[in-house]
Structure 1
Amino acid sequence: MTPRSLLRAVRGVAVAVGCLALVCSAHADESYPEQIRIGIQKGDGLVALRASGKLEQAFAAHHVKVSWHEFVYGAPLVEAINAGDVDVGTVGSTPPIMAQAGAAPAVVYVAYAPKMSRSYAIVVPKDSPVRDLRDLKGKKIAFAKGSQGHLFVLKAMQDAHMDPSSAQFTYLSYADARSAFERGFVDAWAVPDPRYADAELSTGARTILTIGNLSVPQYGFYISTRSFAEKYPAALRLVFDELARQASESLAHPDETARFLSSSTGVPPQVWNRAITRLEWGVSYPIPADVIKAQQDAADLAYDDKVIPRRVDVSKAVLQIK
């Protein structure tokens, strides 16, 4: 090989290596996974983010595929995250407590939603003689076992100095609870929006207590697995930052939001119109000490009332993504 041909060969290799490096850098950012799988529930802010398509646009720059997975309530979502089928999702206070107690030990808290105020309520039929929680002694209260409604009812009874055994807990999915409520098979229902708004509009359900009236604040949380959160904190920050922007925009334009949520979820726009005024959409991180303290109160209550088999230290399941 002549010196000139050797030089051309070396240059060719250099160009090939350079091109390969560019391709690799364009398609393999180790800060991001190839795909992020997001769990949603009907009333959380992630529904609006999915409908907007903005998260897909944000992740396109990092060559990350986004997939959405819908769950009826929190407990199955926790199970899916623990099993590695979903990477991040949002739930109420109860499911991550149960996860830490043994059902799904890989699950960690990574962010939190604003304090719950009016989006979750205990309702009774419009013609019910029940006026407050104490009137439910000996009566049936429906909620999904392991849901936010479970601890909502327990905390409400603690605040009212009621023994939990003084009422009959009826563990039902949202669909079954709705049917039981309409047929008079249960006397009360702990229900979140938009199902809460739907019950008001379709059955005239009357509110006897909203979650913001509890003595200790209740929060929703964003959860992931420890391994995913430790490996891909940048991906989670991108999800939460886009969600925060979308939540602010959605709540600022309730009529428009109701229309596109109706088209994407099948829930009538008038139901969303009522629910949106009460929804505590948004996300913040890292998780502050007062929020962890409030969640610890919920965890202690869950243990005291035998919802979980052992005490848990909530702080040990918190992974701060700064």
Structure 2
Amino acid sequence: MTHNKQKWLLTAALLGLVSLNNAFAQNDPAYPEQLRIGYQKGNSLVVLKNRGTLEKTLSPRGVKVIWREFAFGPPLVEGINSGDIDIGFVGATPPVIAQAGAAPDVTYVGYSEPYQDNYAILVPKTSTAKSVVDLKGQRIAVAKGSAGQYLLIAALEQANLKLTDVDEAYLGYSEGRAAFERGDVQAWVVPDPRLADTELSSGARPLVTARTLPAQYSFYIAPRPFAKRYPETLAVVLRELVATETYAKGHIDEIAQLLSDDTKVPITVWQRALARQPWGVHFPLSEKVIAGQQQVADAFFRNQLIPKPVHVADAVVNLENAQ
């Protein structure tokens, strides 16, 4: 056999191996052809998107990552339920509302650390309120169906008050801030970075933060069919988020600049918010986390904010056992 023929056969063999490997990656039944991620501005998914590490990890499996931005939680949850999005990140209440309504395919697959000082009931600098008890009969701005609404319920119950003891003003965050600054409401339930922004700009102070209340988590959610069929794909996303948050903790100024560019919120605001961010991404859901989320669901039903009781555990998918 001539040298040129040997060289040609070797090249053909190598090309065949490459083609075989590519075909394997593209047809691996444990991974989908594409992964559609729903995200909102200002959280760890934005950082993951910017770093590009997820794409590098999934590329050998032939998975194309598609990012879709949402303005707030409810449309993202609807995208999950309809199967238009494969994974997303939301607060505690949207999945509860989904489970109590017509969104049976929304499942919990992972969670973050509970809110601490990054979610609060805020009062103006000039307010004479010293505790939650002082809010009785007062008008409070809160986003309907938000994590803040549960925070308000929990804070009131801790002070032996009911939701009916205050005047809820259902306002989005922009409208809530405007009403708060005009004095149309006496308190505002708000998370970072808006919390940090308002503290820095007006001297407003937290009356109570989530740190002193029953634990409230945020969740990574996915459609049940996708979670059952591609648990390892979702696990890859969550593991990459763990690495992303580990990096972020050690590079606060860099991440603050990234999020400032993404949201147009001043970097000083993000520096304050990130300094008190409770980092951590975990899966599967522990019994403690499921019990905590059940408290949220029970509180919403007790206060007639959802039409029927829900059993949170029914919507939990353990990625380690999904296959």
CA distance in 2, matches of 1:233, 1:191: 34
CA distance in 2, matches of 1:210, 1:19: 56
In 2 relative to 1, CA 274–22 (structure 1 residues): closer, same or farther, beyond 3 Å? closer
Question: Once the 2 structures are TM-superposed, how far is the Cα of residue 61 of structure 1 from its aligned partner?
Answer: 1.9
Match of 2:315 among 314, 317, 321: 317
Per the alignment, residue 282 of structure 1 pairs with 280
CA distance in 1, matches of 2:32, 2:273: 34
Q: Deviations over 1:181-214 (max 9, x none)?
A: 2222222111111111111112222110101111
Structure 2 residue 231 is matched with structure 1 residue 236: no
Q: Is the 8 A contact 1:73 1:147 kept in 2?
A: no
Question: Once the 2 structures are TM-superposed, how far is the Cα of residue 112 of structure 1 from its aligned partner?
Answer: 1.0
Query: Relative to structure 2, which stretch is displaced further, 38-47 or 106-115?
Result: 38-47
CA distance in 2, matches of 1:318, 1:175: 33
Per the alignment, residue 247 of structure 2 pairs with 249
Structure 2 residue 293 is matched with structure 1 residue 295: yes
Query: Relative to structure 2, which stretch is displaced further, 191-200 or 127-136?
Result: 127-136
Q: Is the 8 A contact 2:36 2:87 kept in 1?
A: yes
Residue aligned with 2:160, SS: coil
- Unaligned runs of 5+ residues in structure 1 are 1-14
CA distance in 2, matches of 1:98, 1:24: 42
Structure 2 residue 180 is matched with structure 1 residue 181: yes
Residue aligned with 2:113, SS: strand
Residue aligned with 1:219, SS: coil
Runs (4+) of structure 1 exceeding 3 A deviation are 15-23
Q: Percent identity?
A: 46
Query: Relative to structure 2, which stretch is displaced further, 22-31 or 238-247?
Result: 22-31
Structure 2 residue 57 is matched with structure 1 residue 68: no
1:91-170 alignment, distance < 5 Å: 91-170=90-169
CA RMSD of aligned residues (A): 2.0
CA distance in 2, matches of 1:203, 1:103: 41
Question: Once the 2 structures are TM-superposed, how far is the Cα of residue 32 of structure 1 from its aligned partner?
Answer: 1.6
Q: Is the 8 A contact 2:100 2:309 kept in 1?
A: yes
Query: Relative to structure 2, which stretch is displaced further, 124-133 or 92-101?
Result: 124-133
Per the alignment, residue 273 of structure 1 pairs with 271
Residue aligned with 2:281, SS: coil
In 2 relative to 1, CA 234–287 (structure 1 residues): closer, same or farther, beyond 3 Å? same
Residue aligned with 2:218, SS: strand
CA distance in 2, matches of 1:220, 1:26: 33
Q: Is the 8 A contact 1:303 1:311 kept in 2?
A: yes
Residue aligned with 1:264, SS: helix
Per the alignment, residue 197 of structure 1 pairs with 196
CA distance in 1, matches of 2:309, 2:34: 35
Q: Deviations over 1:244-274 (max 9, x none)?
A: 0110110122112212222233221111100
In 2 relative to 1, CA 21–249 (structure 1 residues): closer, same or farther, beyond 3 Å? closer
CA distance in 1, matches of 2:15, 2:248: 48
CA distance in 2, matches of 1:52, 1:71: 20
Question: Once the 2 structures are TM-superposed, how far is the Cα of residue 318 of structure 1 from its aligned partner?
Answer: 0.5
Q: Is the 8 A contact 1:45 1:281 kept in 2?
A: no
In 2 relative to 1, CA 71–128 (structure 1 residues): closer, same or farther, beyond 3 Å? farther
Q: Is the 8 A contact 2:151 2:210 kept in 1?
A: yes
Residue aligned with 1:222, SS: strand
Q: Is the 8 A contact 1:258 1:273 kept in 2?
A: yes
Q: Deviations over 1:56-76 (max 9, x none)?
A: 222222222222223333222
Q: Is the 8 A contact 2:150 2:296 kept in 1?
A: yes
In structure 1, what residue type is equivalent to 2:47?
Answer: A
Q: TM-score, normalised by structure 1?
A: 0.90
In 2 relative to 1, CA 281–68 (structure 1 residues): closer, same or farther, beyond 3 Å? farther
CA distance in 2, matches of 1:252, 1:19: 39
CA distance in 1, matches of 2:276, 2:41: 14
Q: Deviations over 1:146-205 (max 9, x none)?
A: 110111111111111102111111111112212222222222111111111111112222
In 2 relative to 1, CA 90–307 (structure 1 residues): closer, same or farther, beyond 3 Å? same
In structure 1, what residue type is equivalent to 2:255?
Answer: T
Per the alignment, residue 10 of structure 1 pairs with none
In structure 1, what residue type is equivalent to 2:158?
Answer: D
Per the alignment, residue 213 of structure 1 pairs with 212
Question: Once the 2 structures are TM-superposed, how far is the Cα of residue 22 of structure 1 from its aligned partner?
Answer: 4.8
Q: Is the 8 A contact 1:51 1:261 kept in 2?
A: no
Question: Once the 2 structures are TM-superposed, how far is the Cα of residue 23 of structure 1 from its aligned partner?
Answer: 4.6
CA distance in 2, matches of 1:90, 1:225: 12
